Structure 1
Protein backbone atom coordinates (compact mmCIF):
# COMPACT_ATOMS: atom_id res chain seq x y z
CA UNK A 1 0.00 0.00 0.00
CA UNK A 2 1.35 3.42 -0.97
CA UNK A 3 1.17 6.06 1.75
CA UNK A 4 1.67 9.78 1.01
CA UNK A 5 4.55 11.69 2.51
CA UNK A 6 3.77 13.03 5.98
CA UNK A 7 4.18 16.65 4.93
CA UNK A 8 1.37 16.21 2.39
CA UNK A 9 -1.11 14.80 4.90
CA UNK A 10 -2.49 17.81 6.83
CA UNK A 11 -5.08 18.77 4.19
CA UNK A 12 -6.42 15.21 4.22
CA UNK A 13 -6.02 14.25 7.88
CA UNK A 14 -9.36 15.52 9.23
CA UNK A 15 -11.21 13.44 6.65
CA UNK A 16 -9.02 10.37 7.05
CA UNK A 17 -10.01 10.38 10.72
CA UNK A 18 -13.64 11.47 10.38
CA UNK A 19 -14.54 9.10 7.55
CA UNK A 20 -12.14 6.29 8.60
CA UNK A 21 -10.17 6.22 5.37
CA UNK A 22 -6.94 4.39 4.58
CA UNK A 23 -4.56 6.12 2.12
CA UNK A 24 -3.87 4.02 -0.94
CA UNK A 25 -1.71 6.07 -3.24
CA UNK A 26 0.13 9.31 -3.85
CA UNK A 27 -1.71 12.64 -3.60
CA UNK A 28 -2.71 14.48 -6.77
CA UNK A 29 -2.56 18.28 -6.75
CA UNK A 30 -4.50 20.54 -9.13
CA UNK A 31 -5.03 24.32 -9.05
CA UNK A 32 -8.48 23.86 -7.54
CA UNK A 33 -8.18 20.80 -5.33
CA UNK A 34 -6.07 18.12 -3.68
CA UNK A 35 -6.96 14.46 -4.22
CA UNK A 36 -5.93 11.27 -2.44
CA UNK A 37 -6.72 7.65 -3.39
CA UNK A 38 -8.10 5.86 -0.33
CA UNK A 39 -10.00 2.78 0.86
CA UNK A 40 -13.43 3.37 2.38
CA UNK A 41 -15.26 0.44 3.96
CA UNK A 42 -13.24 -1.89 1.76
CA UNK A 43 -13.99 0.03 -1.45
CA UNK A 44 -11.66 1.97 -3.74
CA UNK A 45 -12.44 5.67 -3.27
CA UNK A 46 -11.05 9.12 -4.00
CA UNK A 47 -10.92 11.91 -1.43
CA UNK A 48 -11.09 15.37 -3.01
CA UNK A 49 -10.55 18.54 -0.96
CA UNK A 50 -11.62 21.70 -2.79
CA UNK A 51 -9.84 25.06 -2.69
CA UNK A 52 -12.21 27.23 -4.73
CA UNK A 53 -15.92 27.77 -5.33
CA UNK A 54 -15.86 26.09 -8.75
CA UNK A 55 -14.69 22.83 -7.18
CA UNK A 56 -17.05 23.15 -4.22
CA UNK A 57 -20.09 23.72 -6.42
CA UNK A 58 -18.92 20.99 -8.80
CA UNK A 59 -18.98 18.64 -5.80
CA UNK A 60 -22.63 19.56 -5.23
CA UNK A 61 -23.35 18.62 -8.84
CA UNK A 62 -21.63 15.24 -8.34
CA UNK A 63 -23.79 14.53 -5.29
CA UNK A 64 -26.93 15.70 -7.12
CA UNK A 65 -26.36 13.13 -9.88
CA UNK A 66 -26.51 10.44 -7.17
CA UNK A 67 -24.28 8.02 -9.07
CA UNK A 68 -26.41 8.06 -12.23
CA UNK A 69 -23.90 8.64 -15.04
CA UNK A 70 -21.29 9.92 -12.58
CA UNK A 71 -19.12 8.49 -9.84
CA UNK A 72 -21.10 7.83 -6.67
CA UNK A 73 -20.55 10.19 -3.76
CA UNK A 74 -20.04 8.36 -0.45
CA UNK A 75 -19.47 11.32 1.88
CA UNK A 76 -19.48 15.09 1.49
CA UNK A 77 -19.17 18.33 3.40
CA UNK A 78 -18.69 21.94 2.30
CA UNK A 79 -15.00 21.41 1.58
CA UNK A 80 -14.48 17.77 0.70
CA UNK A 81 -15.96 14.98 -1.36
CA UNK A 82 -15.42 11.24 -1.04
CA UNK A 83 -16.41 9.37 -4.19
CA UNK A 84 -15.96 5.98 -5.79
CA UNK A 85 -12.72 5.53 -7.68
CA UNK A 86 -12.39 4.22 -11.22
CA UNK A 87 -10.49 0.93 -11.28
CA UNK A 88 -11.49 -0.48 -14.67
CA UNK A 89 -8.86 -0.99 -17.38
CA UNK A 90 -10.56 1.03 -20.13
CA UNK A 91 -9.56 4.49 -21.38
CA UNK A 92 -11.48 6.62 -23.87
CA UNK A 93 -8.28 8.43 -24.82
CA UNK A 94 -6.54 5.15 -25.57
CA UNK A 95 -9.56 3.93 -27.54
CA UNK A 96 -9.65 7.14 -29.58
CA UNK A 97 -5.98 6.68 -30.49
CA UNK A 98 -6.20 2.94 -31.18
CA UNK A 99 -8.83 2.85 -33.91
CA UNK A 100 -11.89 2.97 -31.65
CA UNK A 101 -12.63 6.70 -31.87
CA UNK A 102 -16.24 6.08 -32.91
CA UNK A 103 -16.88 3.80 -29.94
CA UNK A 104 -15.18 6.23 -27.53
CA UNK A 105 -17.42 9.05 -28.76
CA UNK A 106 -20.54 6.92 -28.45
CA UNK A 107 -19.64 5.92 -24.89
CA UNK A 108 -19.10 9.57 -23.95
CA UNK A 109 -22.41 10.57 -25.58
CA UNK A 110 -24.28 7.84 -23.69
CA UNK A 111 -22.73 9.07 -20.43
CA UNK A 112 -23.72 12.66 -21.20
CA UNK A 113 -27.29 11.56 -21.92
CA UNK A 114 -27.47 9.90 -18.48
CA UNK A 115 -26.22 13.08 -16.80
CA UNK A 116 -28.87 15.11 -18.62
CA UNK A 117 -31.82 12.99 -17.47
CA UNK A 118 -34.65 14.95 -15.81
CA UNK A 119 -34.14 15.36 -12.07
CA UNK A 120 -35.33 17.63 -9.30
CA UNK A 121 -34.31 21.21 -8.62
CA UNK A 122 -30.66 21.83 -9.56
CA UNK A 123 -27.97 22.58 -6.97
CA UNK A 124 -27.50 26.16 -5.83
CA UNK A 125 -24.76 28.37 -7.25
CA UNK A 126 -24.71 27.30 -10.90
CA UNK A 127 -23.58 29.79 -13.53
CA UNK A 128 -25.65 30.53 -16.61
CA UNK A 129 -24.22 29.52 -19.96
CA UNK A 130 -24.36 33.21 -20.93
CA UNK A 131 -21.96 34.04 -18.08
CA UNK A 132 -19.81 31.04 -18.97
CA UNK A 133 -19.10 32.54 -22.42
CA UNK A 134 -17.85 35.87 -21.05
CA UNK A 135 -14.23 35.18 -22.04
CA UNK A 136 -15.21 34.61 -25.67
CA UNK A 137 -17.20 37.84 -25.89
CA UNK A 138 -14.34 39.79 -24.34
CA UNK A 139 -11.87 38.22 -26.79
CA UNK A 140 -14.17 39.07 -29.71
CA UNK A 141 -14.10 42.74 -28.70
CA UNK A 142 -10.33 42.74 -28.33
CA UNK A 143 -9.35 40.54 -31.30
CA UNK A 144 -12.37 40.45 -33.63
CA UNK A 145 -10.45 38.94 -36.54
CA UNK A 146 -9.91 35.72 -34.57
CA UNK A 147 -13.06 35.51 -32.45
CA UNK A 148 -15.92 37.45 -34.05
CA UNK A 149 -17.48 34.56 -35.98
CA UNK A 150 -17.35 32.20 -33.03
CA UNK A 151 -18.87 34.85 -30.77
CA UNK A 152 -21.68 35.56 -33.23
CA UNK A 153 -22.57 31.88 -33.39
CA UNK A 154 -22.42 31.63 -29.60
CA UNK A 155 -24.82 34.57 -29.23
CA UNK A 156 -27.24 32.91 -31.61
CA UNK A 157 -27.11 29.65 -29.68
CA UNK A 158 -27.49 31.32 -26.30
CA UNK A 159 -30.53 33.15 -27.62
CA UNK A 160 -32.13 29.92 -28.83
CA UNK A 161 -31.38 27.43 -26.05
CA UNK A 162 -33.55 24.33 -26.28
CA UNK A 163 -33.00 21.63 -23.68
CA UNK A 164 -31.65 23.47 -20.63
CA UNK A 165 -30.05 21.07 -18.14
CA UNK A 166 -27.37 20.94 -15.49
CA UNK A 167 -24.28 20.55 -17.64
CA UNK A 168 -21.13 18.65 -16.90
CA UNK A 169 -19.25 21.55 -18.47
CA UNK A 170 -15.99 19.75 -19.26
CA UNK A 171 -16.67 16.42 -20.96
CA UNK A 172 -13.49 15.04 -22.50
CA UNK A 173 -11.78 11.69 -22.91
CA UNK A 174 -10.19 11.73 -19.44
CA UNK A 175 -13.29 12.86 -17.55
CA UNK A 176 -15.35 9.79 -18.47
CA UNK A 177 -13.71 6.79 -16.80
CA UNK A 178 -14.08 3.02 -16.66
CA UNK A 179 -15.68 2.03 -13.34
CA UNK A 180 -15.70 -1.69 -14.09
CA UNK A 181 -19.10 -3.29 -13.30
CA UNK A 182 -20.70 0.18 -13.00
CA UNK A 183 -19.66 1.06 -16.55
CA UNK A 184 -18.41 4.40 -17.85
CA UNK A 185 -19.04 7.33 -15.51
CA UNK A 186 -18.18 11.02 -15.41
CA UNK A 187 -16.03 12.88 -12.91
CA UNK A 188 -14.99 16.50 -12.33
CA UNK A 189 -18.03 18.56 -13.40
CA UNK A 190 -18.08 22.33 -13.56
CA UNK A 191 -20.95 24.49 -12.31
CA UNK A 192 -23.03 25.55 -15.29
CA UNK A 193 -26.64 25.39 -16.46
CA UNK A 194 -27.64 25.60 -20.12
CA UNK A 195 -28.41 23.99 -23.47
CA UNK A 196 -27.43 20.33 -23.52
CA UNK A 197 -25.59 20.78 -26.83
CA UNK A 198 -22.70 22.48 -25.04
CA UNK A 199 -21.64 19.24 -23.38
CA UNK A 200 -20.98 17.44 -26.68
CA UNK A 201 -18.69 20.04 -28.26
CA UNK A 202 -15.46 19.18 -26.46
CA UNK A 203 -15.54 15.63 -27.83
CA UNK A 204 -14.76 17.28 -31.17
CA UNK A 205 -12.39 19.95 -29.78
CA UNK A 206 -10.31 18.22 -27.07
CA UNK A 207 -6.76 19.54 -27.70
CA UNK A 208 -5.23 16.76 -25.60
CA UNK A 209 -6.20 14.32 -28.38
CA UNK A 210 -3.36 14.42 -30.95
CA UNK A 211 -5.70 13.66 -33.87
CA UNK A 212 -8.20 16.41 -33.06
CA UNK A 213 -7.22 18.80 -35.87
CA UNK A 214 -7.20 16.20 -38.63
CA UNK A 215 -10.03 16.99 -41.08
CA UNK A 216 -10.94 13.33 -41.57
CA UNK A 217 -11.22 12.82 -37.79
CA UNK A 218 -13.22 16.01 -37.41
CA UNK A 219 -15.82 15.14 -40.05
CA UNK A 220 -16.15 11.52 -38.92
CA UNK A 221 -16.65 12.40 -35.25
CA UNK A 222 -19.09 15.20 -36.06
CA UNK A 223 -21.20 12.60 -37.86
CA UNK A 224 -20.89 10.09 -34.99
CA UNK A 225 -21.64 12.60 -32.21
CA UNK A 226 -24.46 14.31 -34.14
CA UNK A 227 -26.22 10.96 -34.46
CA UNK A 228 -25.47 9.67 -30.97
CA UNK A 229 -26.54 12.92 -29.29
CA UNK A 230 -29.60 13.56 -31.44
CA UNK A 231 -28.48 17.15 -31.93
CA UNK A 232 -28.18 16.98 -35.70
CA UNK A 233 -25.13 18.04 -37.68
CA UNK A 234 -25.78 21.78 -37.99
CA UNK A 235 -26.59 22.36 -34.32
CA UNK A 236 -23.57 20.34 -33.22
CA UNK A 237 -21.27 22.22 -35.60
CA UNK A 238 -22.54 25.51 -34.19
CA UNK A 239 -21.78 24.38 -30.64
CA UNK A 240 -18.34 23.21 -31.75
CA UNK A 241 -17.64 26.59 -33.35
CA UNK A 242 -18.83 28.43 -30.24
CA UNK A 243 -16.96 26.18 -27.83
CA UNK A 244 -13.71 26.17 -29.84
CA UNK A 245 -13.62 29.97 -29.68
CA UNK A 246 -14.37 29.99 -25.96
CA UNK A 247 -11.72 27.35 -25.27
CA UNK A 248 -9.15 29.25 -27.34
CA UNK A 249 -9.92 32.41 -25.35
CA UNK A 250 -9.40 30.54 -22.07
CA UNK A 251 -6.10 29.03 -23.25
CA UNK A 252 -4.80 32.43 -24.36
CA UNK A 253 -5.73 33.86 -20.95
CA UNK A 254 -3.51 31.11 -19.50
CA UNK A 255 -0.70 31.78 -22.00
CA UNK A 256 -1.12 28.40 -23.73
CA UNK A 257 -0.78 29.22 -27.41
CA UNK A 258 -0.32 25.59 -28.47
CA UNK A 259 -3.72 24.44 -27.26
CA UNK A 260 -5.30 27.71 -28.42
CA UNK A 261 -3.95 27.06 -31.91
CA UNK A 262 -5.53 23.59 -31.82
CA UNK A 263 -8.89 25.18 -30.98
CA UNK A 264 -8.51 27.73 -33.79
CA UNK A 265 -7.88 24.90 -36.25
CA UNK A 266 -11.03 23.09 -35.09
CA UNK A 267 -12.94 26.38 -35.28
CA UNK A 268 -11.86 26.81 -38.91
CA UNK A 269 -13.03 23.27 -39.72
CA UNK A 270 -16.39 23.94 -38.08
CA UNK A 271 -16.87 27.26 -39.89
CA UNK A 272 -16.02 25.65 -43.24
CA UNK A 273 -18.49 22.83 -42.58
CA UNK A 274 -21.20 25.29 -41.58
CA UNK A 275 -20.56 27.37 -44.70
CA UNK A 276 -20.99 24.22 -46.74
CA UNK A 277 -24.32 23.62 -44.98
CA UNK A 278 -25.35 27.24 -45.49
CA UNK A 279 -25.96 27.65 -41.76
CA UNK A 280 -23.31 29.60 -39.85
CA UNK A 281 -25.64 31.30 -37.40
CA UNK A 282 -28.29 29.80 -35.15
CA UNK A 283 -31.81 31.00 -34.93
Structure 2
Protein backbone atom coordinates (compact mmCIF):
# COMPACT_ATOMS: atom_id res chain seq x y z
CA UNK A 1 0.00 0.00 0.00
CA UNK A 2 1.41 3.39 -1.01
CA UNK A 3 2.07 6.25 1.40
CA UNK A 4 -0.54 8.32 -0.43
CA UNK A 5 -3.25 5.88 0.71
CA UNK A 6 -2.38 6.82 4.30
CA UNK A 7 -3.14 10.51 3.81
CA UNK A 8 -5.61 12.14 6.19
CA UNK A 9 -9.16 12.63 4.81
CA UNK A 10 -9.74 16.05 3.23
CA UNK A 11 -12.55 16.98 5.65
CA UNK A 12 -10.20 16.39 8.60
CA UNK A 13 -7.52 18.58 7.01
CA UNK A 14 -10.05 21.39 6.52
CA UNK A 15 -11.35 21.12 10.09
CA UNK A 16 -7.86 21.21 11.61
CA UNK A 17 -7.03 24.28 9.55
CA UNK A 18 -9.92 26.09 11.23
CA UNK A 19 -9.15 24.95 14.78
CA UNK A 20 -9.99 27.87 17.09
CA UNK A 21 -7.24 27.36 19.66
CA UNK A 22 -3.56 27.96 20.27
CA UNK A 23 -2.69 24.46 19.00
CA UNK A 24 -3.97 25.28 15.50
CA UNK A 25 -0.51 25.33 13.89
CA UNK A 26 0.45 21.94 15.35
CA UNK A 27 -2.95 20.46 14.47
CA UNK A 28 -2.90 21.82 10.91
CA UNK A 29 0.55 20.31 10.34
CA UNK A 30 -0.41 16.93 11.77
CA UNK A 31 -1.95 15.39 8.60
CA UNK A 32 1.45 15.43 6.89
CA UNK A 33 2.72 13.10 9.64
CA UNK A 34 -0.06 10.55 9.19
CA UNK A 35 1.83 8.17 6.84
CA UNK A 36 4.72 7.86 9.28
CA UNK A 37 2.36 7.52 12.24
CA UNK A 38 0.46 4.69 10.57
CA UNK A 39 3.67 2.80 9.88
CA UNK A 40 5.00 3.37 13.39
CA UNK A 41 1.84 2.41 15.29
CA UNK A 42 0.96 -0.62 13.19
CA UNK A 43 4.52 -1.91 13.58
CA UNK A 44 4.40 -1.50 17.37
CA UNK A 45 1.06 -3.29 17.67
CA UNK A 46 1.77 -5.92 15.01
CA UNK A 47 -1.12 -4.83 12.82
CA UNK A 48 -1.61 -5.34 9.10
CA UNK A 49 -3.29 -2.49 7.23
CA UNK A 50 -6.29 -2.86 4.97
CA UNK A 51 -7.25 0.73 4.16
CA UNK A 52 -7.95 4.20 5.50
CA UNK A 53 -11.64 4.71 6.21
CA UNK A 54 -13.06 7.39 3.90
CA UNK A 55 -14.56 9.95 3.87
CA UNK A 56 -13.52 9.92 7.50
CA UNK A 57 -14.41 12.36 10.22
CA UNK A 58 -13.28 15.85 11.16
CA UNK A 59 -11.41 14.81 14.29
CA UNK A 60 -9.29 11.73 13.53
CA UNK A 61 -7.94 9.25 10.99
CA UNK A 62 -9.38 5.73 11.14
CA UNK A 63 -7.42 2.90 9.55
CA UNK A 64 -9.02 -0.52 9.10
CA UNK A 65 -6.50 -3.13 10.28
CA UNK A 66 -6.12 -6.74 11.38
CA UNK A 67 -4.51 -7.91 14.59
CA UNK A 68 -1.76 -10.55 14.60
CA UNK A 69 -4.38 -13.32 14.97
CA UNK A 70 -6.33 -11.99 11.97
CA UNK A 71 -9.10 -10.36 14.00
CA UNK A 72 -10.40 -7.20 12.28
CA UNK A 73 -10.03 -3.95 14.21
CA UNK A 74 -10.01 -0.19 13.67
CA UNK A 75 -7.00 1.97 14.49
CA UNK A 76 -7.90 5.56 15.39
CA UNK A 77 -5.17 8.21 15.23
CA UNK A 78 -5.91 11.52 16.94
CA UNK A 79 -4.33 14.92 16.19
CA UNK A 80 -2.80 17.17 18.86
CA UNK A 81 -5.32 18.44 21.38
CA UNK A 82 -7.85 15.67 20.74
CA UNK A 83 -7.30 13.97 24.12
CA UNK A 84 -7.83 10.35 23.03
CA UNK A 85 -7.09 9.27 26.60
CA UNK A 86 -10.49 10.66 27.60
CA UNK A 87 -12.22 8.67 24.89
CA UNK A 88 -10.28 5.59 26.03
CA UNK A 89 -11.38 6.13 29.64
CA UNK A 90 -15.04 6.40 28.64
CA UNK A 91 -14.90 3.33 26.38
CA UNK A 92 -13.17 1.34 29.12
CA UNK A 93 -15.88 2.36 31.60
CA UNK A 94 -18.70 1.33 29.23
CA UNK A 95 -16.83 -1.93 28.46
CA UNK A 96 -18.74 -2.57 25.26
CA UNK A 97 -22.21 -1.75 26.62
CA UNK A 98 -23.69 0.56 24.01
CA UNK A 99 -20.29 1.48 22.54
CA UNK A 100 -17.46 -0.19 20.66
CA UNK A 101 -14.88 -2.08 22.70
CA UNK A 102 -11.49 -0.55 23.44
CA UNK A 103 -8.86 -3.14 22.50
CA UNK A 104 -5.60 -1.26 23.14
CA UNK A 105 -4.64 2.25 24.24
CA UNK A 106 -0.94 1.63 24.91
CA UNK A 107 0.38 3.91 22.16
CA UNK A 108 -0.04 7.66 22.86
CA UNK A 109 -2.37 9.32 20.37
CA UNK A 110 -3.75 6.01 19.09
CA UNK A 111 -6.69 3.79 20.02
CA UNK A 112 -7.24 0.26 18.76
CA UNK A 113 -10.98 -0.36 18.63
CA UNK A 114 -13.47 -3.10 17.87
CA UNK A 115 -14.20 -3.13 14.13
CA UNK A 116 -17.79 -2.24 13.35
CA UNK A 117 -19.34 -1.74 9.91
CA UNK A 118 -17.92 1.72 9.10
CA UNK A 119 -20.22 2.37 6.16
CA UNK A 120 -23.48 1.46 7.93
CA UNK A 121 -24.78 4.07 10.37
CA UNK A 122 -28.22 4.80 11.76
CA UNK A 123 -28.61 7.32 8.94
CA UNK A 124 -29.15 4.34 6.63
CA UNK A 125 -32.50 3.68 8.35
CA UNK A 126 -35.81 5.49 7.88
CA UNK A 127 -36.04 8.39 10.31
CA UNK A 128 -38.59 6.89 12.71
CA UNK A 129 -36.63 3.64 13.00
CA UNK A 130 -33.34 5.53 13.35
CA UNK A 131 -34.71 7.63 16.22
CA UNK A 132 -35.92 4.49 17.99
CA UNK A 133 -32.56 2.72 17.64
CA UNK A 134 -30.67 5.87 18.66
CA UNK A 135 -32.74 6.11 21.84
CA UNK A 136 -32.05 2.47 22.68
CA UNK A 137 -28.31 2.89 22.14
CA UNK A 138 -27.77 6.15 23.99
CA UNK A 139 -29.78 4.94 26.98
CA UNK A 140 -27.15 2.25 27.59
CA UNK A 141 -24.38 4.86 27.78
CA UNK A 142 -25.96 6.92 30.55
CA UNK A 143 -24.24 5.55 33.64
CA UNK A 144 -22.58 6.96 36.72
CA UNK A 145 -19.09 8.26 35.81
CA UNK A 146 -16.11 6.45 37.34
CA UNK A 147 -14.82 7.69 40.67
CA UNK A 148 -12.25 10.48 40.44
CA UNK A 149 -12.82 10.79 36.70
CA UNK A 150 -11.08 13.41 34.61
CA UNK A 151 -14.01 14.26 32.35
CA UNK A 152 -15.25 17.80 31.91
CA UNK A 153 -18.68 18.80 33.17
CA UNK A 154 -21.26 20.36 30.84
CA UNK A 155 -20.71 23.78 32.41
CA UNK A 156 -17.00 23.60 31.52
CA UNK A 157 -17.62 22.11 28.07
CA UNK A 158 -19.94 24.97 27.14
CA UNK A 159 -17.75 27.84 28.42
CA UNK A 160 -15.81 28.39 25.17
CA UNK A 161 -18.94 28.20 22.94
CA UNK A 162 -20.68 30.67 25.27
CA UNK A 163 -17.73 33.06 25.02
CA UNK A 164 -17.89 32.84 21.22
CA UNK A 165 -21.62 33.59 21.24
CA UNK A 166 -21.02 36.73 23.28
CA UNK A 167 -18.99 38.25 20.41
CA UNK A 168 -21.17 37.52 17.37
CA UNK A 169 -22.27 40.20 14.92
CA UNK A 170 -25.68 41.87 14.95
CA UNK A 171 -27.23 39.44 12.45
CA UNK A 172 -26.86 36.47 14.80
CA UNK A 173 -26.98 38.32 18.11
CA UNK A 174 -30.69 37.74 18.96
CA UNK A 175 -30.35 33.96 18.63
CA UNK A 176 -26.99 33.96 20.41
CA UNK A 177 -28.47 35.94 23.28
CA UNK A 178 -31.38 33.51 23.55
CA UNK A 179 -28.95 30.59 23.57
CA UNK A 180 -26.83 32.20 26.28
CA UNK A 181 -29.91 32.92 28.39
CA UNK A 182 -31.01 29.30 28.01
CA UNK A 183 -27.60 28.01 29.11
CA UNK A 184 -27.55 30.28 32.15
CA UNK A 185 -31.02 29.17 33.20
CA UNK A 186 -30.21 25.47 32.69
CA UNK A 187 -26.96 25.61 34.64
CA UNK A 188 -28.64 27.46 37.50
CA UNK A 189 -30.95 24.48 38.13
CA UNK A 190 -29.61 21.32 39.80
CA UNK A 191 -29.37 18.46 37.28
CA UNK A 192 -28.31 14.84 37.11
CA UNK A 193 -24.60 14.13 36.54
CA UNK A 194 -24.20 11.11 34.28
CA UNK A 195 -21.45 10.05 31.90
CA UNK A 196 -22.50 11.19 28.43
CA UNK A 197 -21.14 10.39 24.97
CA UNK A 198 -20.87 14.14 24.36
CA UNK A 199 -21.28 14.09 20.55
CA UNK A 200 -23.98 11.48 20.08
CA UNK A 201 -25.90 11.53 16.80
CA UNK A 202 -27.01 9.02 14.18
CA UNK A 203 -23.71 9.17 12.29
CA UNK A 204 -21.89 8.08 15.46
CA UNK A 205 -23.81 4.80 15.72
CA UNK A 206 -22.50 1.96 13.56
CA UNK A 207 -23.76 -1.53 12.83
CA UNK A 208 -21.93 -4.23 14.78
CA UNK A 209 -21.60 -8.00 14.95
CA UNK A 210 -22.13 -8.73 18.66
CA UNK A 211 -25.09 -6.35 18.82
CA UNK A 212 -27.00 -4.42 16.18
CA UNK A 213 -25.83 -0.87 16.92
CA UNK A 214 -22.89 0.58 18.87
CA UNK A 215 -21.70 4.13 19.44
CA UNK A 216 -18.25 5.34 18.41
CA UNK A 217 -16.26 8.56 18.76
CA UNK A 218 -17.29 9.83 22.19
CA UNK A 219 -16.13 13.20 23.46
CA UNK A 220 -17.12 12.29 27.01
CA UNK A 221 -18.66 14.80 29.36
CA UNK A 222 -20.53 14.57 32.65
CA UNK A 223 -23.95 16.15 32.80
CA UNK A 224 -27.65 15.73 32.14
CA UNK A 225 -29.35 13.65 29.48
CA UNK A 226 -31.03 16.71 27.95
CA UNK A 227 -27.61 18.04 26.91
CA UNK A 228 -26.86 14.74 25.16
CA UNK A 229 -30.17 14.59 23.31
CA UNK A 230 -29.74 18.07 21.84
CA UNK A 231 -27.43 16.67 19.16
CA UNK A 232 -29.84 13.94 17.94
CA UNK A 233 -32.50 16.64 17.73
CA UNK A 234 -30.39 18.22 14.98
CA UNK A 235 -30.05 15.03 12.90
CA UNK A 236 -31.18 15.07 9.25
CA UNK A 237 -31.51 18.81 9.41
CA UNK A 238 -31.60 19.27 5.64
CA UNK A 239 -34.80 17.24 5.34
CA UNK A 240 -36.36 18.99 8.31
CA UNK A 241 -35.71 22.51 7.04
CA UNK A 242 -36.92 21.57 3.57
CA UNK A 243 -40.27 20.45 4.99
CA UNK A 244 -43.22 22.80 4.51
CA UNK A 245 -44.01 22.35 8.21
CA UNK A 246 -40.43 22.56 9.41
CA UNK A 247 -41.08 24.64 12.52
CA UNK A 248 -43.83 22.42 13.90
CA UNK A 249 -41.92 19.29 12.89
CA UNK A 250 -38.84 20.52 14.75
CA UNK A 251 -40.82 21.12 17.92
CA UNK A 252 -42.50 17.71 17.62
CA UNK A 253 -39.12 16.05 17.21
CA UNK A 254 -37.82 17.64 20.40
CA UNK A 255 -40.98 16.55 22.20
CA UNK A 256 -40.76 12.95 20.93
CA UNK A 257 -37.11 12.66 21.89
CA UNK A 258 -37.76 14.02 25.37
CA UNK A 259 -40.76 11.77 25.95
CA UNK A 260 -39.07 8.62 24.61
CA UNK A 261 -36.29 8.92 27.19
CA UNK A 262 -38.18 10.60 30.04
CA UNK A 263 -36.32 13.91 29.69
CA UNK A 264 -37.83 17.30 30.50
CA UNK A 265 -39.02 18.94 27.27
CA UNK A 266 -38.08 22.47 28.26
CA UNK A 267 -34.55 21.47 29.24
CA UNK A 268 -34.08 19.63 25.96
CA UNK A 269 -35.41 22.62 24.02
CA UNK A 270 -32.96 24.92 25.82
CA UNK A 271 -29.90 22.74 25.21
CA UNK A 272 -30.95 22.14 21.60
CA UNK A 273 -31.13 25.90 21.04
CA UNK A 274 -27.67 26.35 22.57
CA UNK A 275 -26.06 23.52 20.64
CA UNK A 276 -27.67 24.58 17.35
CA UNK A 277 -26.22 28.10 17.65
CA UNK A 278 -22.85 26.65 18.73
CA UNK A 279 -22.79 24.30 15.72
CA UNK A 280 -23.72 27.19 13.45
CA UNK A 281 -20.76 29.26 14.66
CA UNK A 282 -18.41 26.30 14.17
CA UNK A 283 -19.77 25.81 10.65
CA UNK A 284 -19.19 29.49 9.87
CA UNK A 285 -15.57 29.24 11.06
CA UNK A 286 -15.05 26.23 8.81
CA UNK A 287 -16.57 27.96 5.78
CA UNK A 288 -19.74 25.80 5.72
CA UNK A 289 -22.16 28.70 5.47
CA UNK A 290 -25.12 26.73 4.10
CA UNK A 291 -24.92 24.36 7.08
CA UNK A 292 -24.73 27.32 9.45
CA UNK A 293 -27.84 28.86 7.91
CA UNK A 294 -29.79 25.60 8.36
CA UNK A 295 -28.79 25.43 12.02
CA UNK A 296 -29.75 29.04 12.67
CA UNK A 297 -33.12 28.53 11.01
CA UNK A 298 -33.72 25.50 13.19
CA UNK A 299 -32.69 27.46 16.28
CA UNK A 300 -35.15 30.21 15.40
CA UNK A 301 -37.99 27.67 15.35
CA UNK A 302 -37.32 26.70 18.95
Q: What per-residue deviation string (whole Å, max 9, x for no partner) do you get for residues 225-258 of structure 1? A: 1122210322222221121122222222333221
Q: What per-residue deviation string (whole Å, max 9, x for no partner) do you get for residues 31-73 of structure 1? A: 5432210112332210012222324232332233221111001
Q: CA RMSD in A?
A: 2.4
Residue 135 (structure 1) aligns with: 161
Between the two structures, name the one with larger relative contact order (CA 8 Å, sep ≥ 6): 1
Distance 1:50 1:199 in 2: 23
Using the TM superposition, give the Cα deviation of residue 159 of structure 1 relative to its aligned residue in structure 2, in angstroms. 1.9
Matched, 1:38 2:70: no
Residue 183 (structure 1) aligns with: 212
Matched, 1:109 2:138: no
CA contact (8 A) 2:120 2:206 kept: yes
TM-score (norm 1): 0.82
In the superposition, relative to structure 1, how do residues 130 and 232 fare at CA in structure 2: closer, same or farther (>3 Å)?
closer
Count of aligned residue pairs for this structure pair: 261
**Structure 2: unaligned runs, 5 residues or longer:** 7-34
Matched, 1:6 2:3: yes
Residue 51 (structure 1) aligns with: 79
Match of 1:211, SS state, is: helix
CA contact (8 A) 1:27 1:35 kept: yes
- Equivalent positions of 1:62-141 (< 5 A) are 62-77=91-106, 78-87=108-117, 90-95=120-125, 100-121=126-147, 123-124=149-150, 126-133=151-158, 134-141=160-167
Distance 1:14 1:161 in 2: 47
* Poorly superposed stretches of 4+, deviation over 4 Å: 27-31
Residue 231 (structure 1) aligns with: 263
**Structure 1: unaligned runs, 5 residues or longer:** 271-283
CA contact (8 A) 2:175 2:300 kept: no
TM-score (norm 2): 0.77
Distance 1:76 1:83 in 2: 9
- Equivalent positions of 1:159-170 (< 5 A) are 159-170=188-199
